[in-house]
Amino acid sequence: WAAVGASAWRQYGDGTLGVYPHLPYPTPAARGRRVRVDYRIPWQVVADTVVAHAIYAAGWFCASASGALGREHLAKAILLGMSAPAALLFAAEAAGYHLEGQTFTALSVWIEYGPTQAVWNAGLAFFEARLIW
């Protein structure tokens, strides 16, 4: 093993990068190396914040509209149908993180969204009368 330098850094208000000087190893810049950082937003974050919310908004709107139109029996199917694309989206998000080598982040997505989707779907499918008053 060889010490390769510090990986902790911060961005200043003027856009320049600064590494922490008190770390025990020389920084890449101090060793004459270039520091390159990708500031693009990962597609998984966009999918989680924009696409998932759009799916939920469309599902809840359609379920509300079915109730307002006197077709309450359709709300259960609409809500279960809403969670299927959301679950697929979260599975794709976790797979994307895993393929990029970010296994810990992929596991955190599975841990965060897997049980939530399973409990929501099972509760809605089998205990609808207790969930929706």
Distance CA 119, CA 107 (A): 18
Q: Among the listed ranges 28-42, 50-64, 107-121, which one has the minimum average pLDDT value?
A: 28-42
pLDDT band at 69 (very low <50, low <70, confident <90, very high): very high
For 79-110, how does the pLDDT look when each residue is reduced to its tens digit (9 = 90+)? 888 888 888 898 999 999 899 888 888 898 88
Rounded to whole angstroms, the Cα distance separating 30 from 44 reads: 34
Rounded CA-CA distance 69/60 in Å is: 14
The greatest distance separating any two alpha carbons of the chain, rounded to the nearest whole angstrom, comes to 71
Confidence of residue 73 (pLDDT cuts 50, 70, 90): confident
One-letter identity of residue 4 = V
Determine how many CB atoms are found less than 10 A away from the CB of residue 49: 11
Determine which of 32-41, 43-52, 105-114 has the lowest per-residue pLDDT on average.
32-41
